[in-house]
Structure 1
Amino acid sequence: MPLPAHVASLDFARLPELDDLRILLQQHQSQPSPMAGWMTEIVCAGCTGNDHLWQDLGLWSRKDLSALMHDNFRPLAERNTKDMKWKKFLYKQMCIGEGIYVCRAPSCEVCVDYAACFAPEA
């Protein structure tokens, strides 16, 4: 029996990182509450998808995701001062937290992959 399309599109290689992502989001909740816990789990689940996070969460636009992040994870969202794509931003924050710097460029502005991280999302 084939997997349903929504399950087949998940990136199971990301599952080991979900605990670290969950901790990052929990540490930056705007206000700890049951709803904040649910939003943490929802965002973690969205990060296992292969599209932009706003698409994986079923939102209408990246603007909606930015509002969700600011409402639920304000301390973390306020760090995204250059409007980096959210999934890339979250993973970069996890790497920074672990002292892992995978980017070869000294800053995002001079990186050859700048457009992949900061380009507008359709």
Structure 2
Amino acid sequence: MQARRDEIDDLMGLLRDHTDPAAGSAEAAEAVAWAIACASLGDQHLWQDLRLPSRAELSALIGHWFPALAARNTQHMKWKKFFYRQLCLREDLLICKSPSCGVCSDHSLCFGAE
């Protein structure tokens, strides 16, 4: 995880920039952002790496704490891929690094034609 600390920092920045202050305390928002950023380095779907029961639960979590960011995901892209795309857009990068999806059985769904 230390070797990918720059990714965590970038993801934390993205999430912090979209935190809804009305969603809860700053400490709680920071904890949620940290959990999401760290879990984004995992090899499974983000909802699985966060040990949530479904993608719908993850979407609700993101929608609560980061509603402006959630609203940008109009095509219902997988959250991990969506976050990395947002980071690339922030940097005006045309070629974007993909998230960790090492053993994902849905790799073709996430990285196929869009």
TM (norm. structure 1) is 0.73
Give the aligned partner of residue 7 of structure 1.
none
1:38 lines up with 2:31 in the alignment? yes
Unaligned runs of 5+ in 1: 1-10, 104-112
Aligned counterparts, 1:15-34, within 5 A: 15-31=5-21, 33-34=26-27
- Counterpart code for 1:45: C
CA distance in 2, matches of 1:34, 1:21: 17
Deviation digits for residues 71-102 of structure 1 (CA, Å, limit 9, x no counterpart): 01111010001100000000000000011022
Partner of 1:6: none
- Count of residues in correspondence between the two structures: 99
Percent of residue pairs bearing the same amino acid type: 41
Counterparts of 1:86 and 1:76, CA distance in 2: 10
Secondary structure of residue in 1 paired with 2:72 = coil
4+ aligned runs moved over 4 Å, structure 1 = none
Match of 2:88 in 1: 95
Aligned with 2:42 (options 45, 49, 56): 49
* TM-score w.r.t. length of structure 2: 0.78
